[in-house]
Structure formats: C-alpha cells, structure tokens
Amino acid sequence: MSRLNYHHLYYFWRVASEGKLTRVAEQQHVSQSALSAQIRQLEERMGKPLFERRNRKLVLTEAGRQVFNYAEVIFTKGEELESLISRGIEPEQQTIRIGMLSTMSRNFIESFIEPLLARNERDVSFSLHAMGMTNLLNGLARHELDVVLTNTQIQPSGAPAVAWQSQLLARQPLSIIGPADLDPAAAFPAGYQGLRWVLPGANHEIRRGFDALCSLHQYQPDILAEVDDMAMLRLLARDTGAVTVLPEVVVKDELQQGRLRGYERLPNLFENFFAITLPREFMPSLVSELLSRSLKDLA
C-alpha cells in the first residue's frame, strides 16, 4: 500500500494557505516549476485536481478543500507537537474538539463549556460535533476529538478495541415535568391517571428506568409520543400539554419562565453524564480544566 508523500502535501498546504504560487516558491527557496511539479504529483496520488485557475488565481476544487482541511490539522498539530515536546509549552492558540452524543441535552452541553464561554482571552476556541456513539468513539480513537460527552454507557462492540477512560461528570435526578397549570391530585402513580406522556425512546436509559418504576407500581402510561432527541422532547413537553420524565436541566429555561413545572422527583432515578477520553501523556490543559470540575458545579 503506497503512502502519502507529506512533503508534497506540505507544499500544497502552503500554496492553498497563501493563495499564490510565487510567494510560496520564494519562501521555500524552490522554483515555481518545481513547486508545481510537487503539487501535480500530489494530485496524481489523489486522482483528482486540487486547484483550478480562475482569472489567473488558484482556487481550490471541492476535493482540494477536503485535502486542505486535513492538511491544516496535520501541520498545525505538528507545529504544536514540536513546541510541546521540545520546549514543554502549549500552543498560544488552543482549540478543543468536543464530541457530543446527538441526542443529549443542549443545556447540559452549555453548562459543560461554560468556562470556555466565560474566558475573555482570544487564545481559546472550541468546536462541537454531534453524532452517534460509534462515530464519536471512532473519532476519538483517530484523535479527531479531544473529549466525548455522552449520557450512555460505552458499548465496546461498536468501536475499536481501545482502553477508554470514562469519567462521571454529573448525576442529575429525574423529575416528572409538565404544564404549569396542571396540578396532579396525588403523587405518582395515583395522580397521573388519565394523563398523556411524551417519553424518551424505549432504548434510552431514562426510559428504561421509568419503565421499571411503572412496572413496580403496575402503572401503564398513556404514551402520546416517544422521542430520542432531547431537544425535540423538550419542545413536545412545552407545547403538547403532556407530561414527561426528564432531568430539570433539559427544560431549565421553561421552568424559569413558568411555562413548565416540575411536579416531583422520582426516587432513585438519575441521568448520568460522562466524559470519555483516551489515555494521553500530554492532556491539553483546558481539557483537564473542564474535566476537573466537581459534580456539584455541573449539577
């Protein structure tokens, strides 16, 4: 299997960054023809053109933009690695790549990244990537993500055999939540006869816990809708007049505005939030800072 020539990739990256072949040739002390030849060899290796000429300007093709995005990560991280290993210092500009399970509460995500939002310095940026668990773990294994946030336990069969590090970030009690003008006559389950429910899907951990509680009390909920996505469940709880089971953080804005009300907390039922990382000798300081917050801070 042939390997990518990173020397060719580096020249491509510089030209794509500068936008001018002549300037990069001068900086690298090579002729324009030699530089063009290096880029052509990369295009031959990729099997697609990476640049096209428009009005005497080099413009990236769609394939060129994809290659540039990867080259940007490769060579930027290479410079950071050199600084870290040789001088023991982190880069001036730190970027944290956070993966999050696509069905998670956005309010919890916001509370997790709050320290980043509160920083006044311009030396920090972050990116958020929502996807399914398998893709999240694969991205973490390929070092495309620095940390993954999830509210479910890791399923090893869905990802490469890696020694994941899973840390409990927060444990939030589950409450029955519904319209502010509704007043259940009694505690669960007696006070909820005749009411309709919007609930997480059958495979969601919140739902499994609630189903076990219903089974214990021999209560059969009248289900209007089942929804895996927390953002959608939040909207249905707000707009349908049905009741639901959620951590209060999911609907904290609606609770504060008086649009919804928490009727009661359910005994011994919680939603757990985890951070998953890889064992690393050099953990970015900002990631360590985020993970060192107490459970109380994220409650």
Please report, for residues 8, 46, 57, 58, the alpha-carbon distance to residue 49 in angstroms, rounded to integers and kept in the order given.
14, 8, 15, 12
Residues in the chain: 299
Q: Which domains does the chain have, with CATH numbers?
A: 6-87 (1.10.10.10), 94-169+274-298 (3.40.190.10), 171-272 (3.40.190.290)
Look at residue 129 and give its three-state secondary structure: strand
* Amino acid at residue number 165: Q
pLDDT on residue 235: 93
Nearest to 248 by CA among 234, 232, 235: 234
pLDDT tens track of the chain, all 299 residues?
356 788 888 888 888 888 788 888 888 888 888 888 988 998 888 888 998 887 777 888 888 888 888 887 777 767 666 655 665 555 566 788 999 998 888 888 998 998 888 876 667 888 999 999 889 988 887 778 889 999 887 755 444 456 788 899 988 999 999 999 998 989 999 999 999 999 999 988 899 999 999 999 999 999 999 998 888 999 999 999 999 999 998 899 999 999 999 999 999 999 999 999 987 656 677 888 888 876 555 55
Phi first, then psi, for residue 88 (nearest 5°) are 70, 25
pLDDT on residue 83: 58
Task: For residues 257 and 132, give the distance between their C-alpha atoms in angstroms, rounded to a whole number.
Answer: 32
Q: Which two tokens stand for residue 24?
A: 């990069």
Nearest to 168 by CA among 150, 195, 189, 187: 150
- What is the phi-psi region of residue 131: left when phi exceeds 0, alpha when psi lies from -120 to 50, beta otherwise? beta
pLDDT on residue 90: 56
pLDDT on residue 81: 63
Which residue's structure tokens are 């936008």? 19
pLDDT on residue 160: 46
pLDDT on residue 156: 52
